[in-house]
Structure 1
Amino acid sequence: MLSKKEESYFYRYCFNQLADIYSHISADIFVDFYFIKINHHRDSICSDEISIEGDGFGKDFGTEDRLRRKVYEYKAGVNKKGSFNVGMYILYYCDVIEKFVSEREGDNGFKWFISGNGLQYLKESYIFFVKLDKNIYKELQASSSEEGCDLQPTLIDKFNNEVRKELERVFRTDHTRTLVADLDWKMRSYQQLINKAGDSLLTDIQRDFNYSTRSFLFDNINEVAVRAYEGSQANGEIVISKPEAHGIEKLIEFKEPVEFEHTASVRKLLELTGEDTQLLSDATYIYGVGRFDTKNSTANSERIYVISFKQFFYWELYHRKKPIMGVKHGRVSFPQKKIDSCQIELDLKRIFHGIDDKDLSSLGLIIREMVQQRHGTLLVITSSAEEEAERLQKQSIPIQKVPLDQTLVQAISSIDGAVLIDPNANCHAIGVILDGVAQRGKGDSSRGARYNSAFRYYEHQSLDKEKQLYIVIVSEDGMIDTVPPITNRGC
């Protein structure tokens, strides 16, 4: 049995880890984490032997007595016997909590998920549950499927499931240890969890077409993406659907379909594709070459997926025309959203107090132009641009202050390094190598040097509360980030 000290440590640790993990998706999606402990002393539980503990629990679900009463009401309607085993009680607790949650979800703006059947031990059982912002969650769900054709589960659902399993794995592994003293007790990273979620999603897709098959689709696609053919990188698309799906026009049918696991052959066949032709697959075999008509309305209700190879070891998965996920160098990511000009304007107003509409419009134009560049770039907007240009002159190209326009943006963003401007859209330096101090637990090892150098610079500069700073990072793979992250407030 865990002591109060260990339970408190467990709660704080999980809360901090979950906050960090979900921050890679959105700064505002994670709201809270709770757990309930149910004490029991025999194989059978009676009402006086149940106690429920969990930080903040009563605030969201009411009193322990109310939940306990609901469990017994539920039990009475299902099983007329006086007592029954612990496992059945845990199931009933989970079920009652889910009913409580569903009753509240309509108006409280939160999405919950629960740790399945709970963790059962000799004298106690635990149920974990995580609270997310429902609007952000729904937005992530909606981004994965075409209107009129729901994709279930989505990548965010798969990710939540991996988080749930991770909570159970960590707690089950270390339940018998002294948690406070065990420095190796830790959860997997965001990147490990999102990769497992992406793999699981591809497995579901493959089994949707052929349940009996062994699924290595995620690994197979990665192998195709990393292979070159006569010196050229993988480029083209593979459509995954049932052969009889609407909107699929077969141009060539192979007498002997090629197994997806034969990645060298699949990579060779990819050379047959073009702007309006794709390889056709049922997720296990490549059976031909054809066209996919995305405008065919009768195909809207069908599950049709597109694997689009972009460049070396970089591919994206689409549900019809909607991006589901991207995979670069084996790292899964959520689809990159288009830049939200409205949200950026709100953030600029929040950070640069008193900025006028003219400067706001100029900064918006510069940011939009930066995003259009085909190469990575980095824009630093700071109230201390002049002083920073002077301080960093040995690791930049300082220039005479000049107002930026569209033509200048295209020119100065074509070289490595950051572009340093002030809130009035005047440029002070180009090709800037940003400094900052690396800190343990900060940054993201799954991202490139551009992102992490921007993050370190922001962390260092933000120590001075007087400085106003906003950074836009455009990666070579098209990902767009801001530091600090864009707030999710309604426009």
Structure 2
Amino acid sequence: MLRAAGKTLLDTPAQALGLDPVTTKLFATCNTISSLRYEGAEGVGKLLLARRGHPNIEEIFALTCPTELTDYRAVRKLLEMTTPDVHLLADGESVYALGRQVGHYDAVREDLFVIDFVTHYSWELQHANHVLLRSHYGLPGLPRTRLSRTGFRRALKRTFGLTDPPKVERLWEVVLEASRQKHGTLLVITTEALAEADRLKLQCTLIEPVPLTPLITRLVTSIDGAVLLDPEGYCYSIGVILDGRASGRGDSTRGARYNSALRYVESSDYPCLAVVVSEDGLVDVITSEKLANGKEMKE
């Protein structure tokens, strides 16, 4: 049902460009392109969908022979030339040039769309700076909110009763730095971090307790496994392989990092909060308090 909804939504830009959605198949095309690598590298960059000559599109250079979007590997290769401000230009059927968006786009027109290839097998459909759809490994969904400062502060207060501004700010800086980790990471904040580090010592790397700073956070989140810290911001172990009882709350559409955090938090006998950073930069805050109350787990 989700895939059918995603396909239908991607019919919108096709129709706006005067194309037959049945033959264009933009949803399947974007999924395939995002799944391909070029010389081992994942595809990252943007593709602007608009008719050629659109007033808000500036061509930098054109292709003599436009590349059909269904020539997936060729399009993936062209994507390698894009930069944060130079994108592929496509009319819905073919990539015809590299260029950029210019001027003020009137959203009422609904004739200029952006396909943002975020990371491997993950892309977004955008219109007028609004994300309309995010697809991850072929499964579409509504865009999730990125890390929220207010939501994180609320989670700390609910879980640990923590309201001291300096401590909250210190933890926020740690989480903010972790959210920039390119390959994703996992932070676990628990009142029993020291005891848990000792219990899990055979499946982690113990370190001398150290207050996390943005620099130290950048270092310890660069390896696989969770980072274990307490509400004071002190880290006790890194590269932690979490345990926990399996339950019916798992999400088969999410990765191992998210589900292991979910199991650990649900199984914990102590106040606990997990911050799951996905490879695409989105962040889930999972708390034992939310699980206990059966509430939505995403901030």
| TM-score after normalising by structure 2 | 0.85
Aligned length: 289
Instruction: Evaluate the alpha carbon distance shift between residue 205 and residue 398 of structure 1 in structure 2; reply closer, same or farther with a 3 A threshold.
Output: same
Contact 1:245 1:302 in 2 (8 A): no
Contact 1:402 1:427 in 2 (8 A): yes
Gaps of 5+ in 2: none
Q: Secondary structure at the match of 2:223?
A: coil
More displaced 10-residue stretch of structure 1: 254-263 or 396-405: 254-263
CA RMSD of aligned residues (A): 2.6
Q: Secondary structure at the match of 1:297?
A: coil
Instruction: Evaluate the alpha carbon distance shift between residue 342 and residue 270 of structure 1 in structure 2; reply closer, same or farther with a 3 A threshold.
Output: closer
Q: Which residue of 2 aligns with 1:443?
A: 250
Q: Which residue of 1 aligns with 2:26?
A: 217
- Residues 285-304 of structure 1 mapped to structure 2, 5 A cutoff: 285-293=94-102, 296-303=103-110, 304=112
Q: Which residue of 1 aligns with 2:283?
A: 480
| TM-score after normalising by structure 1 | 0.54
Q: Deviations over 1:174-232 (max 9, x none)?
A: xxxxxxxxxxxxxxxxxxx4333222110122122225452411111122223345555
The structure with the largest strand share of the pair is 2
CA distance in 1, matches of 2:217, 2:70: 46
Q: Which residue of 2 aligns with 1:128?
A: none
Q: RCO higher in 1 or 2 (8 Å CA, sep ≥ 6)?
A: 2
CA distance in 2, matches of 1:388, 1:344: 23
For 1:381, which of 164, 179, 189 is the aligned residue? 189
Q: Which residue of 2 aligns with 1:22?
A: none
Gaps of 5+ in 1: 1-192
Contact 2:35 2:120 in 1 (8 A): yes
CA distance in 2, matches of 1:437, 1:198: 34
Q: Which residue of 1 aligns with 2:138?
A: 330
Instruction: Evaluate the alpha carbon distance shift between residue 363 and residue 197 of structure 1 in structure 2; reply closer, same or farther with a 3 A threshold.
Output: same
Q: Deviations over 1:57-90 (max 9, x none)?
A: xxxxxxxxxxxxxxxxxxxxxxxxxxxxxxxxxx
Residue identity matched to 1:469:
C
Q: Which residue of 2 aligns with 1:393?
A: 201
Q: CA deviation at 1:374?
A: 2.0
Q: CA deviation at 1:354?
A: 5.4
Aligned identity (percent) is 36
CA distance in 1, matches of 2:66, 2:169: 55
For 2:211, which of 403, 419, 424 is the aligned residue? 403
Instruction: Evaluate the alpha carbon distance shift between residue 234 and residue 389 of structure 1 in structure 2; reply closer, same or farther with a 3 A threshold.
Output: closer
Q: Deviations over 1:370-413 (max 9, x none)?
A: 11222311111111112212211111222333222222222222
Q: Which residue of 2 aligns with 1:206?
A: 14
Residue identity matched to 1:285:
S
Query: 2:262 matched to 1:455?
Result: yes
CA distance in 1, matches of 2:80, 2:122: 16
Q: Deviations over 1:320-379 (max 9, x none)?
A: 333323223212233342311112112211111255333222222221221122231111
CA distance in 1, matches of 2:281, 2:208: 30
Contact 1:236 1:278 in 2 (8 A): yes
